[in-house]
Amino acid sequence: MTEHQPLTLRLPTPGCYADPDRSGLTADDVFDGMTEHLFYTLGKLAPSASRHDLYMALSYAVRDRLMTRYLAGIEAIVASPARVVAYLSAEFLVGPQLGNNLLMLGIREEAAEALRRFGINDFEDILEVEEEPGLGNGGLGRLAACFLESLASLEIPATGYGIRYEFGIFDQLIRDGWQVEITDKWLKGGWPWEIPHPDQACFVGFGGHTENYRDTNGCLRVRWVPEETAIGVPHDVPVLGYRVNTCDRLRLWRAEATETFDFYAFNIGDYYGAVEEKVGSENLSKVLYPNDGTDEGRRLRLKQQHFFVSCSLQDMLRSLEVRAIPIQEFPSHWAVQLNDTHPAIAVAELMRLLLDEKHLEWEEAWRITSQSLSYTNHTLLPEALEKWGIELFGSLLPRHLQLIYEINRRFIQQVRLRYPGDNEILRRVSIIDEDGPKAVRMAHLATVASHHVNGVAKLHSSLVKTQLFPDFAALWPEKFTNVTNGVTPRRWVALSNPLLSGLITEAIGEGWIRDFSRIQELEAFSGDAGFLERWGATKLAVKHHLANYIHRHTGVLVDPASMFDVQVKRIHEYKRQHLNALQVIALYLRIKNGTAGGEAPRTVIFGGKAAPGYYMAKLIIRFLSAIAETVNADPDMQGRLRVIFLPNYNVKLGEKVYPAADLSEQISTAGKEASGTGNMKFAMNGALTIGTLDGANVEIRERVGAANFFLFGKTTEDLADLHERGYRPWELVNDIAELPEVLRLVEQGHFSSGDTDLFRPLLQNLTGRDPFFVLADFDAYLKAQAAVSQAWSDPGGWNRMALLNVARSGYFSSDRSVDEYAEKIWRAHPFPVRISCELD
């Protein structure tokens, strides 16, 4: 990758950027910083400081040490403009920040020593205080966070743009086996990592009407007159790279009302009306993914998307204006990545800003837009490819609908010339869906306007071209490409798994943390019996930590020496947690019937949230909880089988689970998972994968070797053929050994205290439609699980396979993913910054 020459910034005064009192990295410096913030920022004396006070003081002290790099990076871009990546995402699942920033700075031990001076001997006590930031939900948001960290570590200038959700998605409780959603009040104790910039607020409009007028040059123009307006206030979160000076930023928008209090309404007794505008506007940044099962929920979700996209684009345009850079050069300075369809309204909003606010002509505005935007597709599931009804869209964004109609008219004319007389292709590719009630197809809009469209795994990218967008791929084959996802090894190995990290560093040095491709050097130890024994001992020690957590939070004792068989991810039918559940019941029956010869003792661990309106997913959680309750209460299962459902799965819990897993369950229906990133985190931590040829599983198997991967299940081609021939799952039941008894046990209410109705919808779904081919893969899944048990019986062989999974996982670093985006799509380059504090 081409690299800019390093820019050295000489920082003239200690109070400007590099105050020596606030940038030192010794234990004394950190202690002094904590003491200062306890007194001046928190108003506390050390003897009366709580653990939360100490967490806040340490966080502020660490943030002080980020500021030098953060502000120097901003000044560097001003002094020597470079192309900046703008990553637009509805989610950024950044996880806890304190431990990660200490790792980036290399001062974890110094911070621990500073805490000891305050009487805190266990550093983990302070890390546990930190709340999980409620800024994301699943893989989409975690990917965005990994990419921001890799961008900074690779020294590529970048800004992540999203929403500062006040309440996140929800916290999950399990009551009587059911998921219960409660408010995620993650901001209640303050968040020391954000820096508000109210002076850089943006105005965003909704509703209203448009007017035609002529400008001073006599050109016909359009003016949008919104009915309501909200203010977006940016909050910046510094994102530091690993042991570099580059500190990118995550800019999150908080919504405010233009008028927060109506004094007249209050005085006449209309107390709600006095704050109605404030409440309505601030709803925009209250909750991630409001339930779109209602008209108001859909309306709020569209408003949220337009809100953060408009603020972000205005911010980018303003950055050019303050540097006196012509607006025509926008594509040279900003590479705008749309992370799935949520920010796809950026196409129409950027056109509106360029046409109506900057008074450019259509061709110039379209050139800027199409040269700046690129689109990542993350799913083939129809419900995730957003469509907005014309009536709703036009009522909220009337000017944008006009622009989309014009974009579509011009696009359809191109297609008409390419395929004269073929009205069917016009129907398929149109941005406006007219097959039912008219709707705007956001994925089509993003595809038409973007210079690149990418999938996130080789299989997924192939399916994007052949199944999802075949007509677009035929029109513009050069647009479509693949960038397989990755995850950052800093958080997911170096930070989350210090015991394994220490063993790896002892073997090959610490260079793998910065350059994860060097992890391949570990393969040289795959034949070292002594090292493999230490490897197994390290894994067992990590499993003890998770076992303690499980006991504290569920009351269930698990054996760390048993196989930790783990499936943690969002609960969805296509991810097939219920397939795993049926396999657990089969194992349970074998133990009960005395036919479980050679089965490995297992602790089967589930975790994940279901969307509040997704009944079947919530029923699956109830099913898993019921199985766990029955199995764990049965004395016959002692030492043989335990089942755990970990509530409220998130990044913080993932940092405990991934390092402890022995077996990674990646069992989604082939062709449904775009990529997956949990599969990569497990492999990096030495878990072996049992999985289908779906998403990035295909590439993981290729990299780690077929002998180190437990493959099962029908391929996408097999399933397409089965569907074409007519899939009748009820005909399979009696043909598959163990399946009839498994289903009968559920049907008879064995796991529901005799209630034969509770799981009837799940059974009917499986034996009636089975939309995700659970029964079609059941027999192959059992055979693969038998192979797992056989491999587990040889500890040395298992440890060798685990080591090879780690040693061959270098490809799945997000550094590699970001490097590919930068080369193929963004045309962005490293921009190293050297900081000198010398006085002139």
Q: What is the Cα–Cα distance from 445 to 350, expressed in whole angstroms?
A: 13
Q: What is the Cα–Cα distance from 333 to 85, expressed in whole angstroms?
A: 8
Amino acid identity, residue 672? K
pLDDT in tens, 310-335: 999 999 999 999 999 999 999 999 99
The model's confidence at residue 277, banded by pLDDT at 50, 70 and 90, is: low
Q: What is the pLDDT of residue 339?
A: 96
Tell me the percentage of the chain whose pLDDT exceeds 70: 94
**Among 155, 158, 141, 152, which residue's Cα sits nearest to residue 240?**
152
Tokens of residue 58, six digits: 């340490």
Please state which of the ranges 18-32, 273-287, 820-834 shows the lowest mean pLDDT.
Answer: 273-287
pLDDT in tens, 709-737: 999 999 999 999 999 999 999 999 999 99
Judging by DSSP bridges, how do beta strands 7-10 and 833-836 pair with one another? parallel
The model's confidence at residue 837, banded by pLDDT at 50, 70 and 90, is: low
The model's confidence at residue 245, banded by pLDDT at 50, 70 and 90, is: very high
Q: What is the Cα–Cα distance from 75 to 77, expressed in whole angstroms?
A: 5
The model's confidence at residue 7, banded by pLDDT at 50, 70 and 90, is: low
**Among 472, 483, 418, which residue's Cα sits nearest to residue 447?**
472
Tokens of residue 330, six digits: 């926008």
Q: What is the pLDDT of residue 216?
A: 86
The model's confidence at residue 275, banded by pLDDT at 50, 70 and 90, is: very low
Q: Is the pLDDT of residue 18 over 70?
A: no
Match 């499993």 to its residue by tokens: 543
- Find the mean pLDDT for residues 126-150: 94
Judging by DSSP bridges, how do beta strands 602-607 and 563-568 pair with one another? parallel
Residue 599 C-alpha from the chain's centroid: 35
Taking the CA atoms of 789, 790, 793 and 797 in sequence, report the sign of the dihedral they define: negative
Q: Is the pLDDT of residue 706 over 70?
A: yes
> Which residues pair with residue 220 across a beta bridge?
214
pLDDT in tens, 629-667: 999 999 999 999 999 999 999 999 999 999 999 999 999
The model's confidence at residue 838, banded by pLDDT at 50, 70 and 90, is: very low
Catalytic residues: 378, 569-570, 575, 677, 681
Q: What is the Cα–Cα distance from 749 to 691, expressed in whole angstroms?
A: 30
Radius of gyration over every alpha carbon of the chain, rounded to an integer in angstroms: 28
Output the CA–CA distances (angstroms, integers) from residue 574 to 565, 729, 760, in the order listed.
19, 16, 19
- Please enumerate, as own/partner, the contacts of 213-217 that have beta carbons within 8 Å and a separation of 24 or more: 215/359
**Inter-residue contact 52 to 41 (CB < 8 Å):** no
The model's confidence at residue 748, banded by pLDDT at 50, 70 and 90, is: very high
Tally of CB atoms within 10 A around 90: 25
Q: Alpha-carbon dihedral of residues 248, 250, 251, 253, nearest 10 degrees?
A: 180
Please state which of the ranges 69-78, 198-207, 299-308, 768-777 shows the lowest mean pLDDT.
Answer: 69-78
Output the CA–CA distances (angstroms, integers) from residue 800 to 563, 704, 813, in the order listed.
16, 12, 21
Which helix (H) or strand (E) covers residue 541, if one does?
helix 529-554
Q: What is the pLDDT of residue 839?
A: 37
Tell me the percentage of the chain whose pLDDT exceeds 90: 87
Q: What is the Cα–Cα distance from 545 to 561, expressed in whole angstroms?
A: 12
Q: What is the pLDDT of residue 524?
A: 98
Q: Is the pLDDT of residue 105 over 80?
A: yes
**Inter-residue contact 131 to 98 (CB < 8 Å):** no
Q: What is the pLDDT of residue 290?
A: 78
- Find the mean pLDDT for residues 20-29: 84
Q: What is the pLDDT of residue 12?
A: 41
pLDDT in tens, 155-183: 999 999 999 999 988 999 999 999 999 99
Please state which of the ranges 212-221, 597-606, 647-656, 704-713 shows the lowest mean pLDDT.
Answer: 212-221
Rounded to 5°, the CA angle 537-542-547 comes to 120
Q: What is the pLDDT of residue 790?
A: 97
Match 């819990």 to its residue by tokens: 653
The model's confidence at residue 260, banded by pLDDT at 50, 70 and 90, is: low
pTM over 0.85? The answer is yes
Q: Is the pLDDT of residue 263 over 90?
A: no
- Find the mean pLDDT for residues 219-245: 95
The model's confidence at residue 271, banded by pLDDT at 50, 70 and 90, is: very low
Q: What is the mean pLDDT of the chain?
A: 93
The model's confidence at residue 137, banded by pLDDT at 50, 70 and 90, is: confident
DSSP type of residue 239: E
pLDDT in tens, 508-545: 999 999 999 999 999 999 999 999 999 999 999 999 99
Tokens of residue 786, six digits: 């038998």
> Which residues pair with residue 565 across a beta bridge?
604, 663
Q: Is the pLDDT of residue 380 over 90?
A: no
**Among 163, 162, 167, which residue's Cα sits nearest to residue 188?**
167
